[in-house]
Structure 1
């Protein structure tokens, strides 16, 4: 269940209440006239099954409540109510399959912001991966994958394509390009520093490296794994199963490929650098294609389920 807290202009309270009452899957409606002060208006509270949340939010935005008032959405971890159970049974589909597009767009928008934190995580993850590359240490590579923040902008691109939001697409693509470019530059300087301290050497980079040589040698499995990880990551975001994101993060070779490209660049190893860039681009492409296809399929399936419910209600 989702909990909605709204500040509604008094002239639109009746319309908002009618919308909530007519939406299948809502419960616990509360109206407090004149309770809100900033902005002024009526305070309206309700709970809604996750399956019906996107439709209700869309209707509330059409009333302009997000412009002249406020809409806040919270996940309810526990709700002990027979009425809530009934609302969830009435709503179409399963809550785990529902996509709250407004919530997804907001999350990906935040993750695609070029902030100090974003740059820091991207740079630190790539430097950790650089150490793993030179030392041929798979544990460091896995750790770097988990630290990297790149899935947020990737999900932003997928969401923007499906929702036809060019601003979000541009913002996410810029975050990806600038993030990886800055991380590669910083890691190249880091590699030169480590070489000056005699901690890195070209011979270490040119060694066989059985644990990490795959990073700069892309093959068909690189694309296959990226596609699978992209689909899994997208499902994790839309279903709020955040635990799966760790597995997704350590399945794709984005940050390690950027790190290997940076170290190879510092030693003038053009072959390794180009192979690493290919690996990076292949993974990014696979994730974006799979993520976009997954979101498009979810959107289509959900529209079909909602259409069936509406036809059944008309007949009833």
Structure 2
């Protein structure tokens, strides 16, 4: 529910009250004496879905754009006419559950902080995310997402495009570019500082840290995360729901990959930095694309029929451009995804071949098979296969290792070294059975406990009612 406060310009009072009367809207009029341009102030409650159509109709009746309007959220409205008004405007449709166009524009503008606060919070979140990646701590990485101020610019560009507010659109684009650049630069500087001070040794393998590795070689799942974040962000802001948690999701798509890119740059790994930087850009573009499509589907259009045609054409061009660019990046992510699929398929095929070889030998059995990848990020290929075989001592077939190497190498698309390790498996003799065993168990069960020797000096005390005396007494 909303409470609308509208100033009435001179000569527009009858037109405004006529619209409210026709729609059976309760209102209160107070006289305005502070200015000659306005004669009164009208207060009237509206359901959330009725704000936009009522304000649009009032605008058509001569309310100028410079007449300020305040829309407040109302907790409770008790009125029979208001209940009928809710029934007339509220339904289960998507476009009826959203907030007014005017409220959406105001909300998008308020989500973007001042530039100094935006810069400071972006740098802090990038540094915290970098530390969390080094620590391999998901909790710290999530904390960096909470403080990232990225939701405003990420959603503002889409709102500005759909509502024909080019000022908001350009401001949001500048803030997005500034945020991405600051995040990568701050992460790079902090990672260099950590490297120089030897807090984290320079010999650290980035692929050995799980939180870093998953962002250096992104796959198509990252695209799904970004699109989901953009859709969720627009649904939350357009329906008046809380945007804090959605802001965390948008930051999850941007801040950790930017931090991973900074770490890769500081460690002198340009190929790894390419994968993480690509992930940052594809996430930014995907959030904007999802936001544009979601807002247009929700029914948001610019004010005035004259603006609808140019805005629709502009939105269509931007959507097509974003689809093309995101599609190009998706091909890159698809290549990484396909390489990961090949590695998984190779590991499965290699395991099946080793099990087939060992099935011909009754003494040997497969204990473990692991595939090690090379360091060629972001697309990694198998470099070595380690096969661990268990067999009784002295019963290993000397031709077994050669057969395993040959069968595994046939499954690899490139040269792969195969290492076969043997572990001796010796089974213990079974326990004795029969009468002797039963006798031993019986003897152990009736064995009396061994009394503990007294420690310390002898004591003279009382046992029951009889005194305990020393010798000679």
1:241/1:124 Cα in 2 relative to 1: closer, same or farther (>3 Å)? Answer: same
SS at 1:78's partner residue? coil
Q: 1:4: which partner in 2?
A: 4
Is this contact kept in 1: 2:104–2:237, CA < 8 A? yes
1:90 and 1:233 map into 2 onto residues whose CA distance is 28
1:247 and 1:114 map into 2 onto residues whose CA distance is 20
Is this contact kept in 2: 1:261–1:276, CA < 8 A? yes
1:169 and 1:57 map into 2 onto residues whose CA distance is 24
SS at 2:208's partner residue? coil
* Higher alpha-carbon deviation: 171-180 or 146-155: 146-155
Q: 1:89: which partner in 2?
A: 87
Q: 1:181: which partner in 2?
A: 181
Q: 1:14: which partner in 2?
A: 14
Q: 2:107: which partner in 1?
A: 107
Q: 1:268: which partner in 2?
A: 268
Q: 2:46: which partner in 1?
A: 48
2:163 and 2:196 map into 1 onto residues whose CA distance is 49
Does residue 249 of the first structure (1) align with residue 248 of the second (2)? Answer: yes
1:108/1:120 Cα in 2 relative to 1: closer, same or farther (>3 Å)? Answer: same
Q: 1:283: which partner in 2?
A: 283
2:111 and 2:266 map into 1 onto residues whose CA distance is 30
2:220 and 2:79 map into 1 onto residues whose CA distance is 51
Tell me how far 1:221 sits from its aligned partner. Answer: 0.8
Is this contact kept in 2: 1:215–1:253, CA < 8 A? no
Is this contact kept in 2: 1:7–1:65, CA < 8 A? no
1:203/1:74 Cα in 2 relative to 1: closer, same or farther (>3 Å)? Answer: farther
Higher RCO (C-alpha under 8 Å, 6+ residues apart): 1
Is this contact kept in 2: 1:135–1:204, CA < 8 A? no
Q: Counterparts of 1:205-244 in structure 2 under 5 Å?
A: 206-242=206-242
Does residue 118 of the first structure (1) align with residue 118 of the second (2)? Answer: yes
SS at 1:254's partner residue? helix
What is the CA deviation profile of residues 131-188 of structure 1, one whole-angstrom value per residue up to 9, with x for unaligned ones? Answer: 1111111111111122212121111111122223322221111110012212322332
Q: 2:411: which partner in 1?
A: none
Q: Which one has a larger percent helix, Structure 1 or Structure 2?
A: 1
Is this contact kept in 2: 1:156–1:169, CA < 8 A? yes
Q: 1:305: which partner in 2?
A: none
TM-score normalised by L of structure 1: 0.84
1:298 and 1:92 map into 2 onto residues whose CA distance is 15
1:180 and 1:300 map into 2 onto residues whose CA distance is 28
Tell me how far 1:128 sits from its aligned partner. Answer: 1.0
1:9 and 1:81 map into 2 onto residues whose CA distance is 28
What is the CA deviation profile of residues 268-305 of structure 1, one whole-angstrom value per residue up to 9, with x for unaligned ones? Answer: 2212221111111121122122111111111079xxxx
Q: 2:386: which partner in 1?
A: none
- In structure 1, the gaps of 5 or more residues are 302-316
1:300/1:107 Cα in 2 relative to 1: closer, same or farther (>3 Å)? Answer: closer
1:55/1:215 Cα in 2 relative to 1: closer, same or farther (>3 Å)? Answer: same
- Aligned-CA RMSD value: 2.6
* Higher alpha-carbon deviation: 176-185 or 109-118: 109-118
Q: 1:134: which partner in 2?
A: 134
SS at 1:8's partner residue? strand
